[in-house]
Structure 1
Amino acid sequence: MAFGADELRVLRRALAIALHPTPLPDEDVQDCLRLAGAVDEAVSEAGRLRAFLLADLARYRDALPGSVTGYLELLQDAVAAGYDPRPDDLAALRALRGRPVAAALLQRCQVLAERSVRARLAGRSAAVTAPAPRGRLLALPGGRAAEREPERPKAPAAPGRPQTPGERPMPKPSEVFPPRRRPVPPPGERAAG
């Protein structure tokens, strides 16, 4: 997750206030609430993106052997991001081990699968899990909000749309993650055509 300059400024102020509580202007409270909302949205977007990538990986695996290049790339990316290879992945890689990339990936995935099994047998879960959803930040201690009655919460804006005119919109996954570049096969492996 990357923060912009304005978001870092708000985060820095919030941390300073947490260390040295002082009364806050309403603008600072609103900035902190907007930042908390943006972080919550980024976490949920990351979960949606992970689910999409895992479904994409399953589609490529089901379309083997025709989708071998795309499947190997997706599996490499997933393993690098902490994906625990499943038995279906190991079986697919065994069938493709005639390719050097698949053979190397099979070795790596076997080591990861073995670690995962040992961890489960030891009573630990090696699977990567999403963090538990945190409670919404409703108020900060101190500031003007503590001096008066709490305001009614406003209805949240639609996802991807700015809440205020000066706030920038939520980026799309295609804007955050650059397109994947396909490796160019060596000249000896290209098909004549």
Structure 2
Amino acid sequence: MPTPYGYCGGMAFSADELRVLRRALAAALQPTTVPVQECLRLSEELDEAARESGRLRDFLFADLARYRDALPGSVHGYLGRLQEALAAGHVPGPDDLGALRVLRSVNAGPAERDRRTALLRRCEQAAERSARARLRALPGGRLADEPERPPAPKPAPQPAPKPPQPGPAGPQPSRRGRPVPTPGEVFPPRRRPSPPPAARTA
């Protein structure tokens, strides 16, 4: 079954995308100015080609899953769909990797076994690249083979503030500069009353 994709520089393009790209290249190489309406129409066709490409990829990935579910009877169809899906940007998951490991020696001669082994290696590398990209996208993520960053130096401890020293004891001067009176000056001693005259006569 022929694939609906064309290949250019390792990228897959549908027939509509190739047609739009040819028109865009032709418009870019024209020495005269391209009309505005032509640019708008070309932009709309590019958007539609991108949507169609997404629909084709979704169909291809769903078709791959159907062939994978029908294994091992659909081994040849599955391997073909897997190669097309890889060219369209499919990232192999555990299901694909597990199926390829089982299929390496199922109804396969030496040449076919080598071809399936090479396809398995290709899928493992694609899955590993995808995992590395996800690690790079995480905050603070680093690859397993990258050197570990040294921890940031801790700031030196600051000395504790000294407690305030008490001032010299003693009477505090008044606000106006006069000395503070003593208790004896504020409260003079009371004199004992003298006995009445009658008591002195007796």
Report the TM-score when normalising by structure 1: 0.52
**Structure 1 residue ranges, 4+ long, deviating more than 6 angstroms after superposition:** none
- Let me know the Cα RMSD of the aligned residues: 2.5
1:118 aligns with 2:132: yes
- Give, as a single letter, the amino acid of the residue that structure 2 aligns with 1:2: L
Relative to structure 1, the CA distance from residue 16 to residue 85 in structure 2 (aligned partners, 3 Å threshold; closer, same or farther) is farther
Aligned-pair identity (%): 55
Matches within 5 A, 1:25-36: 28-36=35-43
Give the superposition deviation at 1:8: 4.2
Return the alpha-carbon distance in structure 2 between the equivalents of residues 6 and 110 of structure 1.
38
Relative to structure 1, the CA distance from residue 7 to residue 108 in structure 2 (aligned partners, 3 Å threshold; closer, same or farther) is closer
Return the alpha-carbon distance in structure 2 between the equivalents of residues 35 and 90 of structure 1.
41
The SS at the match of 2:73 is coil
Give the aligned partner of residue 2 of structure 1: 18
Structure of larger gyration radius: 2
Kept in 1: contact 2:57–2:88 (CA 8 A): no
Give the superposition deviation at 1:7: 5.1
Give the aligned partner of residue 71 of structure 1: 78
**5+ residue gaps, structure 1:** 18-23, 125-193
Give the superposition deviation at 1:80: 2.6
1:83 aligns with 2:97: no
Give the aligned partner of residue 132 of structure 1: none
Return the alpha-carbon distance in structure 1 between the equivalents of residues 133 and 26 of structure 2.
41
- The CA deviation string for residues 129-162 of structure 1, in whole angstroms up to 9 with x for no partner, is xxxxxxxxxxxxxxxxxxxxxxxxxxxxxxxxxx
**5+ residue gaps, structure 2:** 1-16, 139-202
- The CA deviation string for residues 153-181 of structure 1, in whole angstroms up to 9 with x for no partner, is xxxxxxxxxxxxxxxxxxxxxxxxxxxxx
Give the aligned partner of residue 93 of structure 1: 100
- The CA deviation string for residues 81-105 of structure 1, in whole angstroms up to 9 with x for no partner, is 3221011100111110114132221
